[in-house]
Amino acid sequence: MKRIVIFASGSGSNAENIIRYFTTKKTATVVKVLCNNKDAKVFERCKKLHVPCQLFTRDDFFNSENILQQLKKEADSIVLAGFLWKIPTNIITAFPNKIINIHPALLPKYGGKGMYGMHVHNAVKENNETETGITIHFVNENYDEGAIIFQAKTQLNPSDTPEDIAQKIHLLEYEHFPKVIETVMNG
Ligand code: GAR
């Protein structure tokens, strides 16, 4: 059984969806969620699902090897599901092609620092895009630049608000992210 550790910073609806998906699978399981925001809703979701959710600090992550050493012991693969800090080089080096991120746009469009969550959907709306989508990719040292594993598109109507766009994106994420993680881990 391969062990997945998820990083999340906010609501954690993707984390919940991934946890639920793997509860019925024999190949992999989510052993823990790591969170950098004490007020994040993901804590509540994990409690309901009986999965440990652990708060960590900037120091744990960037100025010590605490998280790195823990991951080496506890994780086969790492999944970023709405996680907003950049992954430090020591973790990237220890987990080559084992860290998977989801981005709520069709990279290379709407990627890079500051492009997350509603900021992405607001920008898509401002540019009158007729389609948007999701990108699942490996993580390297630069925001949103690692090798792309999978993309899926959704069409937009001129009347779609940024909130409508967010909803369309979430549906795509829930449908594809767990399956893509599973495929990569079994590959
Ligand atoms: C998701 O849409 C994810 O793609 C996005 O944050 C949202 C988190 O929602 N990630 C990024 O923008 C990363 N740059 P969730 O907390 O409900 O899963």
166 CA to middle of ligand 1, Å?
A: 9
Q: Tell me the C-alpha distance between 138 and 158, whole Å.
A: 32
pLDDT attached to residue 95? 96
> Which residues have CB under 6 Å of ligand 1?
8, 10-14, 81-82, 102-104, 116-117, 120, 169, 173
Q: Tell me the C-alpha distance between 174 and 165, whole Å.
A: 14
133 CA to middle of ligand 1, Å?
A: 12
pLDDT attached to residue 143? 79
Nearest CA residue ID for atom 6, ligand 1: 82
112 φψ region: left (φ > 0), alpha (ψ -120 to 50), beta (else): left
Q: With 90 as the cut, is the pLDDT of residue 113 above it?
A: no
Tally Cβ neighbours within 10 Å of residue 77: 18
Closest ligand 1 atom to 104 CA? 4
What's the domain range around 37?
2-186
Q: Tell me the C-alpha distance between 63 and 52, whole Å.
A: 24
Extract the tokens encoding 49. Answer: 């699902």
Give the CATH number for residue 45: 3.40.50.170
Q: What is the pTM of this model?
A: 0.97
Q: How many domains does the chain have?
A: 1
Q: What percent of the chain has pLDDT over 70?
A: 100
pLDDT attached to residue 187? 78
Q: Is there a catalytic annotation at residue 121?
A: no
Task: Give the CA radius of gyration of the chain.
Answer: 16
Nearest CA residue ID for atom 9, ligand 1: 82
Q: Where do we find the tokens 């990279």? A: 107
pLDDT tens per residue, range 50-59: 999 999 999 9
First to last CA, the chain: 14
46 and 12 Cβ atoms separated by less than 8 Å? yes
